[in-house]
Chain A
Amino acid sequence: MNGVAAGHISELPERSGRVFRMGSLELALFKLSDGTVKAVENLCPHKRGKLSEGIVCDHHVYCPLHDWKIDLHDGLVQAPDQGCVNTYQVEVDGNGNVIVYVKDAAESA
């Protein structure tokens, strides 16, 4: 697990997604209305939609392509669709820096 500084909390608009790229890895970062930041792989398991562009409601994001609903807590696709996206742990430090914990190299490939 590597902690990577992805940017400052002020760069994340509330209830909107922001793309974070690191090498071949592309994540979608979301600041929820309670201030917490969530990170998931920016790829809907259905037709590879960019989740970063979805509408955020509470702790769910709706994929912009076909409206699949994904829980940002655990990455699980909500019924009646099914599937899962990778989630990444995120912390915001005392200075407002957003730290994303990417998994080991082999996993994130």
Chain B
Amino acid sequence: MKKKLVMIGNGMAGVSFVEQLLKLSPNRYDISIIGAEPHPNYNRIMLSSVLAGDASMNDIVLNDWDWYRDNGITLLAGHEAVGVDAERRTVSTKTGETLAYDELVFATGSLPFMLPIPGADKEGVIAFRDIKDCETMMEAAKHYRKAIVIGGGLLGLEAARGLLNLGMEVGVVHNGPCLMNRQLDETASRMLQAELEGQGMKFLLAKQSASITGEARVTGLTFKDGTHEEADLIVMAIGIRPNAQLASAGGVLVNDGIVVNDYMETSIPNVYAVGECVEHRGVAYGLVAPLYEQGAVLAKRLAGVESDGYHGSVLSTKLKVSGVNVFSAGRYTDEPGTKALRVQDELDGIYKKVVFENGRVVGAVLFGDTSDSSKLFSAIRSGKDYTGKEKEVLFGPSGGAGGKEPAGDADLVAAMSGDEIVCGCNGVTKDTLLEAIAEKGCVSVPELKACTKASAGCGGCKPLVEAILTTTLGADQVAAVKEGICGCTTLSRDEVVGAIQQMRLTTTKEVMHVLEWKHPEGCSKCRPALNYYLGMAFPEEHEDEQESRFVNERNHANIQKDGTYSVVPRIYGGVTTPEDLKRIAIVAEKYQVPLVKFTGGQRIDLLGVKKEDLPGMWKDLDMPSGYAYGKSLRTVKTCVGNTFCRFGTQDAIKMGVDLEKKFERLNTPHKVKLAVSGCPRNCAEATIKDLGVVAIDGGWELYVGGNGGTRVRAAELLTKVKTEEEVLLWTGAYLQYYRETANYMERTSEWSVRVGLDTIKKALEKQEDRDALNARIDQTLKLTKDPWKQIIESDELRSAFEALTATGSSEAAAQADVK
């Protein structure tokens, strides 16, 4: 009979240990894992990406439910362990279950440290530690404006960046004078602060929090110096402490954390601990790499494999703070007896410092450019003597700063020891990668990623993974595999579109077949994308595939959370008439529309409509579809212009109506919003639109790539023109260039950053290029038809809006009715 292994905790350190144990000894234990959160193991380091909206919860799952099932692990997710009886060898949970064990592992991680100041229990005061905290912050951002983050360390800055992305005003309070003082020296800290201030973060440094004000909910934070800051949300991110309470209550020796020896054994036989809950030789670690090293030792111990134990870790931090690469390791502050080599480049925002003691590298800080981090880290660990050639560490063998030849990839890889961790997020060592290359035949970075999870976290180690691959196999053996447009293919957008154009593919089925899609009918990501690309490439030949469109574009209305829809009729330029308004009012009453609302784009929204009522409403409205649901031209917002306004310089209304009439119904990679303002006061907010037209005396300015949504971005000036005709032609050329070069689901704001405004300007520079683009967009535009009218006029299309009902076996229907 197999021995029973119970682990309390379902986080990164614990699950990594189980993975390593399964590799060494797959069938030795019956494994049960108790996890307090209702999720499988996820990458806690990536929580800030979830908060920033760059990743979803699914993206950061490291071990999905299948993994537990496939490995025969019993996972009690959402269960809290409440008691350990070391005598009887049992663990009890809050839900009343009792698990017997032969071996018990504590992987309880850490708890956020909450400042014990008055008011810390108010609503709106939270930590930043788990999915739930993330959700609280996202919810708060919807209703409140001002956030304060207490703690200018790594965690605090990540929380602050996320809140900034959510549109909140963020102030960061730090008790010391320098940010991230545990990872950076003063120079790097100041550079980071300047960068973050540029991104809109505010800093309150050298401030001691005294109390939190407010009734039920927080309203602000008062400091010991008597000053006060308003806040609707306070995030405490000052640090963590080992979560060792349960172990302590169970009689295990606990100091700051659960005390373990070099084999991760606690004071009680058959009870072990690993991860952030542990104190080893007086040190509790809060970074990932040491936790994986501990997990490896414990896995060997429990698999009965000999090892020389865990001897503590040299700490290094390599991370990306708000887009800035930062690295530090070892002792990087200046001390008596140390000498430092510094390089500071304020032009590119790069700073490097290497600290030597007796010719050996003992610490390093890198800011802006962290490509030397692996080399420096292994120099610290190896203790190699560089006396007399210290500068080679940064500048390579040729010495001085002049003729520098950066150390090649080969040297860098060769300098790494086998057990050195390459991917900090997932704890993948160089040896693991070499093994995957040699034994599993991985020849590309994506294959290595699939096989080992290296670079599957933050992606920061990708260059190093690539270097290891290239050095091991030789550059010509490495398969260049790009990440595909979705999980069904490895082909990029450009390759797919190129193939469509060259091979004249005209259906999604054909594309998937010819390009060897992994799933025969694709997925919800690639099907709509392919349908768009096909229609863009061959507007005449490609027949639009309704079944490959999202629900809103198929039903020509916006689905709401309760399954009802919203109806927005076209109101060109936001200009309506009493007749139209009366008709809308009559229709709203006839169909008992629960909510009538004006949209941000100057339209009228009829919300809460049943699917079956849609065609009837469209017929009664007798207005074209407003396309409020589509990846298409949404609205052209206008101001009054010189029609009535005393400041107006041009007829903004007519310009807007002309633009909307010309480009309505156009399929685009993502939604497109336009606006026309009649003077530089810009009341139509044209400079946060995909294309904004601003009238000036004697002409028009065209702004592009703006956005007023999740990430506000001001549009950039594309050109100035004199006539309304020119506005239409430039807009046509610009929109067609966007249609032809953007990724599906990429707004113009993202697209213009990716390809660069200069590229767009260059593509539209010549009259003949603009003419060619306009010819292509006109060809597409002339094929469009009003979808509401099409549906009203076709019995077949209309029937899709009706529900089927039982036509036979009436007694069954009657039975169902009775209940």
Contact = CB atoms under 8 A, between A and B. Distances in A.
Interface string A64-93: 110101000000000111100000000000
Contacts of A82: 65
Given A47-B561, A82-B65, A109 B550 contact: no
A47 B807 CA distance: 30
Nearest to A81: B58
B521 A80 contact: no
B808 A80 contact: no
A4 B551 contact: no
Contacts of B809: 2-5
Nearest to B77: A82
Given A23-B817, A24-B816, A53-B555, A64 B550 contact: yes
B61 A15 contact: no
B806 A15 contact: no
B524 to A, nearest CB: 4
A59 to B, nearest CB: 9
B283 interface: no
B614 to A, nearest CB: 12
A6 B806 contact: yes
A102 B816 contact: yes
B547 interface: yes
Interface string B790-815: 00000000011001111111001101
A7 B804 contact: yes
User: In which size bucket is the chain A interface?
Assistant: 35 or more
Contacts of B528: 55
Nearest to A101: B812
Q: Which of A23, A25, A58, A69 has the most chain B CB atoms inside 10 A of its CB?
A: A23
B732 interface: no
B519 interface: yes
B808 A105 contact: no
Contacts of B812: 2-4, 22, 102
B770 interface: no
Interface string A48-70: 11100111111000101101010
A54 B523 CA distance: 11
A105 B65 contact: no
A4 B809 CA distance: 5
B547 A80 contact: no
A21 B65 CA distance: 34
B546 interface: yes
A19 B803 contact: yes
Contacts of B805: 6, 20-22
B819 A57 contact: no
B191 to A, nearest CB: 39
Contacts of B522: 57
A58 B520 contact: yes
A69 B486 CA distance: 15
A108 B815 CA distance: 10
B749 interface: no
B561 A65 contact: yes
B611 to A, nearest CB: 8
A33 B520 CA distance: 11
A48 B559 CA distance: 13
Contacts of A33: 521
Contacts of A29: 804
Contacts of B709: none
B308 interface: no
A53 B819 CA distance: 27
Nearest to B520: A58
Given A4-B812, A13-B800, A80-B40, A55 B806 contact: no
B547 A49 contact: no
Contacts of A67: 524
B547 A13 contact: yes
Contacts of A48: 562-563
B769 interface: no
A64 B804 contact: no
A16 B550 CA distance: 11
B215 interface: no
A62 to B, nearest CB: 4
A23 B813 CA distance: 6
A53 B611 CA distance: 11
A21 B66 CA distance: 34
Contacts of B819: 23-24, 105, 108-109
A79 B527 contact: no
Contacts of A22: 805-806, 812-813, 816
A96 to B, nearest CB: 13
Nearest to A25: B816
A29 B799 CA distance: 14
Contacts of B743: none
Given A6-B804, A11-B799, A57 B559 contact: no
Contacts of A4: 806, 808-809, 812-813
Contacts of B66: 79
B527 A55 contact: yes
Contact of A108 (B40, B61, B816): B816
B139 interface: no
Interface string B592-627: 000000000000000000010000000000000000
A74 to B, nearest CB: 15
Given A22-B813, A55-B524, A7 B807 contact: yes
Contacts of B813: 4, 22-23
A5 B519 contact: no
Contact of A58 (B521, B611, B817): B521
Contacts of B49: none
B373 interface: no
B178 to A, nearest CB: 40
A53 B800 CA distance: 11
Interface in B74-95: none
B64 interface: yes
A20 B816 contact: no
Nearest to B42: A80
B634 to A, nearest CB: 20
B524 A6 contact: no
A7 B809 CA distance: 12
B430 to A, nearest CB: 29
A105 B451 CA distance: 49
Interface in B536-578: 546-548, 550-551, 554-555, 559, 561-563
Contacts of B808: 3-5, 97, 99
A20 B799 CA distance: 13
A45 to B, nearest CB: 14
Contacts of B562: 48
Contacts of B559: 50, 53, 64-65
A15 B547 contact: yes
Nearest to B796: A13
B550 A55 contact: yes
Residue in A19, A54, A82 with the greatest tally of chain B CB atoms within 10 Å: A19
Contacts of A21: 803-805
A89 B65 CA distance: 28
A49 B563 contact: yes
Contacts of B40: 80
B800 A54 contact: no
Contacts of A105: 815-816, 818-819
Interface string A3-45: 1111100010111101111111110010001000000000000
Nearest to A21: B803
What are the 8 tightest A-B residue pairs by CB atom distance, in nearest-first order? A23-B816, A5-B808, A62-B524, A19-B803, A53-B551, A2-B812, A23-B817, A64-B551
Given A16-B554, A58-B520, 14 more contacts: A4-B813, A5-B807, A11-B804, A13-B546, A15-B547, A18-B803, A20-B803, A22-B806, A53-B559, A55-B527, A57-B521, A62-B524, A80-B58, A105-B815
11 contacts: A4-B813, A6-B806, A6-B807, A24-B817, A25-B816, A56-B521, A57-B523, A65-B561, A80-B61, A80-B64, A99-B808
Interface of A: 2-7, 11, 13-16, 18-26, 29, 33, 47-50, 53-58, 62, 64-65, 67, 69, 79-82, 97, 99, 102, 105, 108-109
